[in-house]
Amino acid sequence: MRKVQQFFQTSVYSGPVLAIIIFGVALALYSPHFLQVSNFVNISNQIAINIIIAVGMTILIISGGIDLSVGANVALTGVLVTLYFRGAPGGGSVLIGIAIGITCGALLGLINGLIVSVLKAPPFIATLGTSGVFRGIALVLSGGRPLMGVNEGFIRVFSGFVGRVPLQFIIALGIVLVGFITLNHLKIGRIAQATGGNERCVRTSGIRVERYKVILYVITGVLAAIGGMVLTSMMAVAEPIAGQFYELDAVAVVVMGGTLMQGGKGTVIGTLLGAVLLGIVRNGLNIIGVPANYQQLFVGLIILIAVVAGNRNKDRATQ
């Protein structure tokens, strides 16, 4: 009990965990349906892509950057991969398809990274611009229409099941693990934290900040591409207008998970919790039977409440 108390007093995760518990208990009491396995399958299915994208966004925001082009990246990757499957004889190879998807994501990330770090453009507006470009390319390549003809094997890889656990959720958890290790145990994670905390210090210490920044954008791009492939396989179709507002969803769960928008501090696990919280809220609204139209409003409110509750600038709020 002591430990539990201590957790809620000191842990950075206490906010989202508490919210998840409250919502979970309330929903379980309200509807027996909530605690059913099929419902958890449902939730995990819905939040997988958000988690995958948000992990990259977490590390990027911690390093003081942001990438608003991930939504467009999702669409473009899906379109490219599907075009390959359509064009290749016999539906193409799954592995090559995945390779194309990841290369595409890496390349888009590289473009963002070079613009931001080498050309020193502010990341917010620069990635807003590349977002338009990427989405435009997706629209051009697909002719603006949804593309059918996704390889069956590819669909199985990304949206199969292990037992009753959706494969994409396992992928998402795997990426959370990789993200956790990257942030806490790899050099680049450490440098990301330091750069977001005080870029000048890192620079004057003789560390090649630009190089690390580019790599971080590439990682974010690759993860968005994986998200794009998961989405494509889930839908069995590539939509050039897919992934709209995914970037905002990702930023929202990152911040709900306690990561500071101004960089320097944050956790991947927090992001996971943020995504779970958002997923449960959406699911719960469905269960309660809140009309779809109300859901967006509640989601926004939850984001706002989470941010205010986890706010660490409060001490400075007196003026």
Partner 1 sequence: MDHAYVRMHGIHKRFGGIKALNDVHLEVYPGEVLGLMGENGAGKSTLMRILCGLKQLDEGTLTIGGEEHVLRTPQDAQQLGIGMIPQELLLVDALSVSENIFLGKEATAGFHLLDEKSMRARTRELLESIGCRDLHPDTELSRVSKADQQMIAIARRVVQGGQVFVMDEPTSALTEQETQNLFTVIRKLCDEGRSVIFISHRLEEVLEICDRFVVLRDGENVAEFPNGPAIDREQLITPMIGSVLGEEYPHQDATPGECLFEAQQVSFTTAQGQTVDDISFSVHQGEVVGIAGLVGVGKSELAQTMVGIRKIHGGQFFFNGKAEVIGTPVKAAELGIGYVTEDRRGEGLVLGLKSLYNMTLRSLHKVAKGMLIRSRAEAALGLSYAEKLHMKPQYLGLDAQNLSGGNQQKVVVIRQLISDSQLIIFDEPTKGIDVGAKAEIAKLIGDLSRDGKGICIFSSEPREVLGVSDRIYVLNHEGLAGPFLRGTIDYTRLMSIEFGGVE
Partner 2 sequence: MGNMFARSIQRYRGVIATLVLINIIFSFASEYYMTMYNIMNILDHSAISIILSVGMVFVLATGGIDLSIGSTLAFTGIVAAQLFKMQVFWPAALVLAVLVGMGIGFTNGWFITHYRLQPFIVTLAMLSIVRGAALILSKGSPIVGMPESFLQVFSGPRILGNGIFIALLVAAGAAFIIEKTAYGRYIRAIGGGEEAAYVCGIRTNRITRSVYIIAGALATVSSFLFMAGMNAAEPIAGLTTEWMEAIAAPIIGGNSLDGGRAYILGAVIGVLILSCIRSGLNMMGVGQHYQQIAIGAVIICAVLIDSLRKDK
Residue 130 in contact with partner 2, rule: CB under 8 A: yes
User: 266 φ, ψ to 5°?
Assistant: 165, 170
Stretch that binds partner 2, among 11-19, 160-168, 220-228, 305-313 (CB under 8 A): 305-313
Q: Which residue in this structure is represented by tokens 């920044």?
A: 213
User: 22 φ, ψ to 5°?
Assistant: -60, -50
Residue 137 in contact with partner 2, rule: CB under 8 A: yes
- With H, G, I as helix, E, B as strand and everything else as coil, classify residue 237: coil
Among 173, 207, 241, 299, binds partner 1 (CB under 8 A): 207
Nearer to partner 2, 123 or 166 (CB): 123
Residue 146 in contact with partner 2, rule: CB under 8 A: no
Which residues from 148-187 bind partner 1, rule CB under 8 A? 185-187
- Report the partner that residue 255 touches, choosing among partner 2, partner 1, none (CB closer than 5 to 8 A by kind): partner 2
The tally of CA atoms less than 13 A away on the side-chain side of residue 114 is 6
Nearer to partner 1, 155 or 207 (CB): 207
Q: How many CB atoms lie within 10 A of CB 69?
A: 30
Residues 57, 68: Cα–Cα separation, whole Å: 9
Residue 291 in contact with partner 2, rule: CB under 8 A: yes
Q: How many CB atoms lie within 10 A of CB 204?
A: 9
CB of 265 to partner 1, least distance (A): 5
How many residues touch partner 2 under the rule CB under 8 A: the total is 50
Q: Which residues contact 210 (CB under 8 A, 6 or more apart)?
A: 117, 118
Which residues from 261-280 bind partner 1, rule CB under 8 A? 264-265
CB of 19 to partner 2, least distance (A): 15
Residue 315 in contact with partner 1, rule: CB under 8 A: no
The tokens describing 291, both together, are 């009309």
Residues 131, 20: Cα–Cα separation, whole Å: 33
Q: Which helix (H) or strand (E) holds 161?
A: strand 161-162
Beta bridge partners of 147: 238
Stretch that binds partner 2, among 148-156, 198-206, 211-219, 301-309 (CB under 8 A): 301-309
Cα pseudo-dihedral 36, 41, 43, 48, rounded to 10 = 160
Stretch that binds partner 2, among 124-132, 162-170, 210-218, 223-231 (CB under 8 A): 124-132
- Report the partner that residue 190 touches, choosing among partner 1, partner 2, none (CB closer than 5 to 8 A by kind): partner 1
Nearer to partner 2, 224 or 226 (CB): 224
- Report the partner that residue 162 touches, choosing among partner 1, partner 2, none (CB closer than 5 to 8 A by kind): none
Nearer to partner 1, 120 or 245 (CB): 120
Residues 253, 46: Cα–Cα separation, whole Å: 14
Q: How many CB atoms lie within 10 A of CB 94?
A: 17
- With H, G, I as helix, E, B as strand and everything else as coil, classify residue 279: helix
Residue 162 in contact with partner 2, rule: CB under 8 A: no
Using CB under 8 A as the criterion, which residues of the chain lie in contact with partner 1 when the complex forms? 185-188, 190-191, 193-194, 197-198, 200-208, 264-265
